Structures are given as C-alpha cells and as structure tokens.
Structure 1
Amino acid sequence: MNKRFASIRYSYIRSHFQGLFLTVVTILSILLTIYVFIQPDWLSAASIFLFISLYSGIGFIVTVYAGFKSGGDIKNRLDYLSVQITQFANGNYQSRLYFNEGDEMERIANEMNDLGEKLQNQVKSLQRMADEKSDFAKSAHKAAVIEERQRLARDLHDAVSQQLFAVTMLSEAAVRQLENNPEKAKLQIQEVAKAALQSQSEMRALLLHLRPVHLSGESLSEGLTKLIKELQQKSQIDFHLTIPVDLSVSVTIEDHMFRIAQESLSNILRHSNASEVKIMIKERPGELYFHVQDNGRGFDMEQERKTSYGLKTMKERSEELGGVFAIRSNIGEGTYIDIRIPC
C-alpha cells in the first residue's frame, strides 16, 4: 500500500494539494485582513466562511482530477520507457518509442531510440566478427584438434582411468570375500556396478566431444536430430527435441548453437543424473530462442559458475553472437538454460 501511494501519480496529487492549501491560507489571510481593518458592509464572517468552504470543496475535486490526470500521463510514458529498457535487456534492439509532446520525455525517448540503433549495429558487428572468426577457426583446425585431444586425455586420466582402477580394486576385493563373506562381497559388487555406470556416463560425455565441431554441410535441425537419436540409443535418458525444419539462420549461428547444444548435453550426461531432457529451438520476431531443460539433481549456481568450464564456454559463445545467456538451477530442481540470439 505504501509503494502504491509513493508512485508518481500520487506525488502529483500531493503537490496539487499543497498548492491548494497555500492558496486557501493566502485568500483567507487577505479576507480576514480586510474584514478586521476596513470592515466593509459586503464582507462578513459568514460570507468568508462560505467562500472558503466552497473554494476548498471545488478546489479539492479539481485538485484530485488534475493531479490524477497529469500524473497518469507521466506515469504511462515512464512505463513505456521502462518497457523499452526491458526490451533492450532481453536483446530486442529493434523496439522504438514515439512521443510527440515536444518535452524532455520526448528527448529521452529519442535518445533511447538512438541507443537501440547503436546496440543493433553493434550486434551486427559482433555477428560479422563471429563470421570472420569462424573462417579463421577453420584454418586453425589442426591446432584445435591437438588441444582437444590433450584435454580429452587429461579427462580420461583424471576421471575414467581412476574410476576403472576403482572398479578393478573393488572386483578383486569382492572375489576374495565371495566365499568367506558373501554379504560383503554383494555390497562390493554393487559398488562395482555403480562405478561402472559412472564411468560409462563419463565416456559418453567424452565421446560426445569427439564428434565434429562443425555441422559439415548439414543444417542445425539435421545435426541435432542425429545427435539426439544417437544419445537416445546409448543412454537411459528420454530426450525431447523441438526445432523447426526450415530454420533460417547464418552458418556461423548454426555452428555456435550446435556446439552449445553439445556442451550442454555433455554436462547433463556427466553431472545431472537426469531421466528427461527437453531441447527447444524456435525463431521469434528478431531473435533465435534456445532452451534446454533437465529434471536432474541441479547444483549450487554460485559455486558452479566459478568452476564450470562448460558454462563459461556456452556463455562466451552466446555473447560472441551478441546474445543473452541465462541459467537457472537449484539443488534437486533440475537446470534450465535460456539463450536469445538477435537475428
């Protein structure tokens, strides 16, 4: 309630009331001065009271109406400015404001329109730079392959190799305990199965990175459909892909979005323990919208943002295209990724 009465509309009404109060006090002072010192026949205490009462009543009505009307006009125009700022924050730089009052608000609207045009030009420049970077990346493919192999070798050593070593040790211990302590052997075999399943998930995620980085002539729809079918056959996760067949975006955007999808699916296979994943890509007016959702165990965003290489890579790829990257996750509530690319 306090916030409502603190709005600009009620501020205008309060300022009008202050003006009415000062006017009534001034008129009353003048009339009382004339009544006391001059004492004309036409002026009496009753006429003063009647005049002030009528003036206050009519002034009250006019004040409320005028304050509400003028404050409402300003509020509506400020709301338009607020919506425009929100549009810019969401990457819609084509939105424009048109005021014809010729005051300061029109000047601010024109400056915001100029800002939107500059941001739109910057997005085009970023996408043009991304095209140039894509051409350069193809020429440097060999160096990238070597670096990726080194990273995969590191991951194999740090994750899969250690897990396989643990599987070996647990298996040997279970064999020794099989005759003397079958119950303990059963628990150790269960640990073996759990470790093997984790190693399998790690291997699937690593193999996902061995796929081609570029679509190699395929469309984004075709490439993602093949990728999802392959993962569907090799894992217990239920994938749902929604993407238009006739998606019309540049090759650079397709390559970046395909790589972002690979990275997000790799994170899901490794860490989420999810049973269902939804991927949606669709064209909206002025933007390409990409959404990934899983029902996994989620994570602490503050901690993960500082350590996750995959999240940083996805965010950087989105920003290279002038896009907006957003992620939401809570422990036990899954993870949601939203990306908006101007196009």
Structure 2
Amino acid sequence: MDEGTTRLLQAVVDALSAHIAVLDSRGVIRAVNRAWRTFADANGLAWPDYGLGRDYLATLGAAAARGDPDAGVIARGIALVQAGAQDEFCYEYPCGTPAGPLWFIMWATPVVAEIGTGVVVAHEDITVRKLAEMAAEEARQVAERRSAIAAALKGILAVLNSGLALDRILLHILTEARALLAATTVALVPSPDSELSALCDPSCLAGDPEALALSQTEYGNPGPAGDESSFPSSSQRLVSPVQVAGAWCADLIVYYAAGRVLNDDEVDLVTDLALQTSLAIENEALRRRVQASAIESERARLLRELHDSVSQTLFSANLIADTLPRIWRQHPEEAIDGLEQIRELTRAALVDFRTLLQDLDRPVLVAEPLNVSIERLADQLSRQAGVPVRRFLGSLTLLPAPVQVNLYRIAEEALNNALRHADAHNISIDLSQHGGAVWLRIEDDGRGFDPTLVSSGHHGLGIMRHRAEEIAADLDVHSAPGAGTKVRVQWEEGKAGGHGR
C-alpha cells in the first residue's frame, strides 16, 4: 500500500467518532484514530504512543486478573472474532473517568490481510442513550412501587373498615409495612401508659434485643407525627410515633438487621403507615364508645318497657282483683269473667317479662359479630334438645345493633320451633354476608305445617315477621305438613329502614 493510500485511510478513520484501534493477528495495536488519541489525552491514559505496539489482548487479560469482569468478556470476544469463530462481537460496558462514569458499546470485526486476520476494535460513547434508558427504567420501577404502595394502602383501608379485631388489623399493617419496606421486621411498641400490647412479626426483633426498648429510651419523647425530627439518624432503625387524639401512644419501628439508609419516599411511607395505625386505634376507641352508648340506650329502653308493659298490666290486674270480692257477692257470673281477665293479664305480663329477660343479653349481641352469637346459640339449643344442628356460618362484620338483635331473635325463634315443636331430625342454619347484604336461612325436616291455616301468633310467625319489619328485612316462611320448614331472611343496608330503628 503506497503512502498516499495510507494517509487516506488514516484520514477516513480519524473522521469517525468511535475510538478505533486496529489489531494485528497477534492482538498487537498497529493503528489508532484521532478519537482514540483525544480520549487518551483527556483521561490521562499512561500508554506511550497511545498503545501502539502494545499487546491489547494481554492488557485486557491483566485487567481481568485484577478483577475487572468486563475486560475478561471483551478479551474472549475479540479472540473468537480473530479465530473466525464468530463474525463480530458486541458488548456494552461502563468506564470510569475523571469527569464521571461513561458508557460505551464495543464492536470487534475481523480484517483479513496477507499476514493473517486482524481485528478492528471500535468503542462508541453511548452515555446519553444509556442514561436515558436507566432513567426510564428507574421511572418504571418508581411507578411500579408507587402502584404497589397504593394497592397496599387501599388494602389497609379495606381492613380498617372490615370490623376485624384491632390486633388483627394492626398485624396486617405491620405485615404490609415489612413487605413494602423490605425490612427485617416491623414492630409496634406501646408507650408505658398505653393499653396496647407490643406487636411484631414472628421474628420479634430477635436480631437486636435492644430494639423493643428504643421507644422508651432514645425515642421516648418524639416530636409531632410527620415531623422528620422524630426520626433517628440510625441506618438500622426508623421510628415513627403513633398518636391518638394528639397524645403519643406507641412507636412504629422499622428494623433492618444490616445497615441501610432509607430515602425520603420510604420515610414518608413509614409516616403514612403510622397514621394508618393511629386511625385503626381511633376507630377501635370510637367503636367501643358507640357500643357503650348502644348498651346504655338499650338499658333505658328495657326500663321503659318494664314500666309501660309489665307494670301497667300488673296494675290493671290488681285493680280487677280489688273489686272482685264486692262483685262476687252481688254478681257471681261477672266475678268469673273478672277472674278470666286477671288470668289473661297475668299471662300477658309473664310473656312480656320473659321477653324482657331475653333482651337482657342484647349488650352481648351488639358487641360481637352475628355469626359468633348464632354459633353459640345453635350449640346451646342443640345440646339442650339432643339434636345436631349443621352450621354454615360465614364471617360477618359488626352490623347495626337493631339488625344484629332482630336477626338473632329470628334465628332463635326458628331454631326453637324446629328443635322443640317440629320433631325434626335434621336442622341446618346458613348465615352469609356479601357487601351490604346479609342472608339467614334455617331449614328442618320436621312435621311442618300449613301457613295458611295457622294464625300469626302460632309457631312464632308473628314474632319473626314483626322483627323482620323492625329492620326492613324480607322474611319468607315455606312449610307444608310432613315437608319440614324453611325460614329465609334477607337484610340489605341502605334499604328503607334497613339500618334498624
């Protein structure tokens, strides 16, 4: 090749933006372009003559021996191209420079000459593209994480409104917190005067026995919720105060067995979870106040009914009894009628009194889910009658107090009829809840009856219908002689009167 051609080829190579080196069949650098030399000058490359005459493959091998994984991959790729095992080799890699990290893509292609097969190695700067890709990937991960956090917080809100016991709600929050924050464990440590119990996942901070004491020592006087000054600088723990009605009641502790510094988003998430914990505790306190109010209101109602029904009935019976001696002397026939009136009045008073006695357990009925009360009722009546009762009871949330009581009384009346009067051998009770609707079904294989021939006061039909009307529930009773009885009740929240009165 003449000198003019050589200059032309060098000019062409120098015009390219990639950093190019030409290797001979032994892997020795025989030529480089202007971009290669410029990069070497800018980044303090110590090779004399920009590496001309240096064994490039040996240099890469030495770098690989020092622990550079990219150098080893590139050396093997160039060797494969040089040996003709593959047409080209491409590889992306990072490169540290005084100005900061850069990214390159390297291409190795064969050059066939009379003295053997050489390789053209070209390194193209792809930093701008790579940074854009990494930014896009980071944005995708952030979006996915925020979506996961939003879904978890939505799930926590659903649990808050589920009617579950407070401990189960708090454990759910701790479990979600541990997953979202990739923590070793998350614990709720109550303040010394709190009624709460310490809660955490099964590991119970075993990796650090001192962790449970943190809230009473280093973090015993936290700032307002959400104030970052309340968070310690420790890279292993993050503590957020849980406040109820403005008073500190517990600490939410996020613990890492290995040191880790949480970012601002994670700190904000811990604060949000502490607020959810506060809301759960406040909801429980409100529920207890509502129950206490309902119980007190029910006691007042029982006193009124005792005065208005039993007392008045007995007063009327007493008036008749006072006049009977005089009437008996003058009109014996009328006195007999008076005795019958006293008998009817005392019977009515006894019925009213028994009803009031039954209502004394209403505070229990409004304090626990309906499925728990009916489970206990079915077990009690089944043992008393010696007849098994199959139960299919779903898990219910707490319903309005009048709804819980009236549905319970309907179930009680239907079970009593089946066990004591119907001579049934197979009895089943089914209770379920879907959203704001509740279904109650009691079926037996007893003697049955014809509803059209029975007055409303028999078989408890009137009682069940009255209680269904009290809560705007739909009641259906299907029965026939010898065919058993089916009692079905459906109550829907939001239906006119459906909240109970």
Q: TM-score, normalised by structure 1?
A: 0.40
Q: TM-score, normalised by structure 2?
A: 0.28
Indicate the structure with greater strand content. 2
Larger Rg: 2
Q: Larger relative contact order (C-alpha < 8 A, sep ≥ 6)? A: 1
